[in-house]
């Protein structure tokens, strides 16, 4: 059992804040939208296979394949049972960098246990629309009895280590500052679940931790040029953040925040503190960001190097112009469709793919308008 740290949250007034970069409404004519699939049950995450097809998770507990020739598959067989309660369920999926040789995939989901539920990562081989050799390689501890803030985004770094985001499980937000458990952390493990020897808290009770002080990270990606891992997290009411990850770094939650609680009460008067990281971007009001990817292809020629972010609350895809690590103007797309954007990926074909979060969610393909 990982240790819990009992600390009272800070409560002070936070003044209103503005988004850290200008937002510009985008002309809907800039892009064309092709609905590839329309019957997905709350799709949550996706990953491209080497053949160009997609793996897609459904939060209700399924994993599906999408073929550009045959469309959406039947649910993949032998998927473990998930605890699909509130925000929990089958969440993200990632393909092994050596999938062509080992046919291995990884998925993060909420799994029920003796004392509640927890974010868990499993690996398996994918053959003939079925999973084989399913094994659990990581379980966040401790388990608690609520269905909120699981995190569960997955990404590989340049050394093929697997990064896993873990939420603070909502009412346990103070635990994000305690490096003896997994609440509000991002962990780094090897593909077999073992711990890299240079992890920053290797001697603690949660040696998998790479960074801490997070709230609920719903975006994770590796920068295609610098190879740095970037993360994006939900703030409370205000204070959504995009961060560059540093080993052992403290991202401040809930000691510093650009948001307030949902009932209007204060969480902290501080937005900065020595020894705690500042975000590259923050949003107030919150956009409820989910899914992120850097655009590194040439089909959208003017977008190269820009950051793409899905927005649940304001139902749009957001493009953030980037000059290296510096954000510039922000552009909104798809907002007139009124659909919650849960994930975004850049395809090997240079087109952009997004998932919409709904009981009959969609897989959308975006291309430049003619």
Q: How does pLDDT run across 78-107, given as a tens digit for each residue?
A: 999 999 999 999 999 999 999 999 999 999
pLDDT at 9 over 50: no
Q: How does pLDDT run across 213-239, given as a tens digit for each residue?
A: 999 999 999 999 999 999 999 999 999
Tokens of 95: 């393909």
Residues above pLDDT 70, as percent of the chain: 92
Exposure b/e, 124-162, CB count within 10 A at least 16 = b: bebeeeebeeeeebbbbbbbbebbbbbbbbbbbbeeebb
Mean pLDDT of the chain: 93
Question: By the 8 A CB rule, do 91 and 108 touch?
Answer: yes
Alpha helices for 160-292 (secondary structure H): none
pLDDT at 172 over 50: yes
Q: In sequence order, what are the residues at sequence separation of 6 or more whose Cβ sits closer than 8 angstroms to the Cβ of residue 150?
A: 87, 88, 91, 108, 110, 119, 166, 167, 169, 216
CA dihedral (304, 328, 326, 283) positive or negative:
negative
Rounded-to-integer distance, Cα 43 and Cα 58, Å: 4
Q: Is 316 a catalytic residue?
A: no
More confident residue, 166 or 16: 166
pLDDT at 7 over 60: no
Tokens of 350: 């240079």
Q: How does pLDDT run across 195-217, given as a tens digit for each residue?
A: 999 999 999 999 999 999 999 99
- At residue 23, the pLDDT reads 60
Rounded-to-integer distance, Cα 51 and Cα 67, Å: 9
pLDDT at 323 over 50: yes
Residue 30's pLDDT band (cuts 50, 70, 90): confident
Tokens of 246: 């540093």
Check 149, 182, 234, 331 and give the catalytic one: 149
Exposure b/e, 293-319, CB count within 10 A at least 16 = b: bbbebebbeebeebbbbbbbebbbbbb
Residues above pLDDT 90, as percent of the chain: 91
pLDDT at 56 over 80: yes
Q: In sequence order, what are the residues at sequence separation of 6 or more whose Cβ sits closer than 8 angstroms to the Cβ of residue 61?
A: 79, 81, 82, 84, 89, 90
Tokens of 156: 């590989």
Exposure b/e, 252-273, CB count within 10 A at least 16 = b: bbbbbbbbbbeeeeebbeebee
pLDDT at 5 over 50: no
Tokens of 313: 């609350």
Residue 261's pLDDT band (cuts 50, 70, 90): very high
- At residue 66, the pLDDT reads 98
Question: By the 8 A CB rule, do 146 and 171 touch?
Answer: yes
254 prior amide bond cis, ω within 30: yes
Question: By the 8 A CB rule, do 5 and 180 touch?
Answer: yes
Global pTM value: 0.93
- At residue 370, the pLDDT reads 80
- At residue 207, the pLDDT reads 98
Once rounded to an integer, what is the mean pLDDT over residues 258-282? 96
- At residue 280, the pLDDT reads 97
- At residue 12, the pLDDT reads 27
pLDDT at 333 over 50: yes
- At residue 115, the pLDDT reads 87
pLDDT at 16 over 80: no
Could you say which DSSP state residue 170 is in?
T
pLDDT at 2 over 90: no
- At residue 331, the pLDDT reads 95
3-state secondary structure of 337: helix
Exposed, middle or buried: residue 88 (CB in 10 Å: 0-12, 13-18, 19+)? buried
- At residue 24, the pLDDT reads 61
Rounded-to-integer distance, Cα 346 and Cα 90, Å: 22
Rounded-to-integer distance, Cα 63 and Cα 308, Å: 24
Considering only CA atoms, which of 329, 324, 328, 363 is closest in space to residue 343?
A: 363
């Amino acid at each position: 059992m990982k240790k819990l740290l009992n600390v009272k949250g800070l409560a002070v007034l936070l003044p209103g804040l503005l988004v850290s970069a200008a937002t510009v409404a985008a002309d809907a004519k800039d892009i064309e939208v092709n609905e590839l699939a329309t019957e997905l049950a709350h799709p949550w995450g996706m990953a491209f296979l080497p053949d160009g097809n997609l793996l897609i998770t459904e939060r209700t507990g399924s994993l599906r394949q999408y073929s550009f020739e045959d469309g959406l598959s039947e649910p993949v067989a032998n998927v473990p049972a998930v605890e699909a309660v509130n925000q929990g369920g089958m969440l993200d999926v990632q393909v092994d960098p050596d999938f062509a040789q080992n046919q291995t995939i990884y998925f993060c989901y909420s799994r029920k246990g003796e004392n509640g539920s927890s974010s868990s990562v499993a690996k398996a081989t994918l053959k003939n629309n079925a999973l084989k050799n399913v094994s659990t390689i990581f379980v966040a501890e401790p388990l608690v009895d609520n269905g909120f803030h699981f995190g569960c985004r997955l990404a590989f770094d340049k050394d093929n280590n697997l990064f896993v985001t873990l939420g603070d499980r909502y009412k346990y937000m103070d635990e994000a500052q305690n490096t003896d458990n997994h609440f509000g952390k991002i962990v780094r493990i090897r593909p077999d679940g073992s711990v890299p020897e240079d992890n920053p808290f290797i001697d603690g009770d949660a040696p998998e931790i790479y960074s801490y002080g997070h709230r609920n990270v719903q975006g994770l990606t590796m920068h295609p040029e610098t190879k740095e891992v970037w993360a994006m997290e939900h703030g409370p009411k205000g204070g959504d953040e995009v961060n560059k990850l540093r080993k052992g770094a403290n991202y401040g939650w809930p000691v510093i925040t650009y948001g307030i609680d949902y009932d209007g009460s204060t969480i902290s008067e501080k937005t900065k503190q020595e020894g705690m990281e500042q975000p590259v971007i923050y949003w107030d009001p919150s956009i409820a960001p989910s899914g992120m990817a850097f655009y590194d292809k040439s089909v959208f020629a003017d977008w190269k190097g820009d950051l793409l972010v899905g927005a649940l609350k304001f139902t749009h895809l957001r493009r953030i112009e980037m000059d290296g690590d510096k954000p510039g103007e922000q552009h909104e797309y798809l907002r007139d469709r009124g659909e919650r954007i849960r994930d975004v990926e850049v395809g090997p074909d240079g087109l952009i793919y997004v998932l919409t979060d709904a009981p009959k969610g969609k897989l959308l393909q975006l291309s430049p308008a003619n």
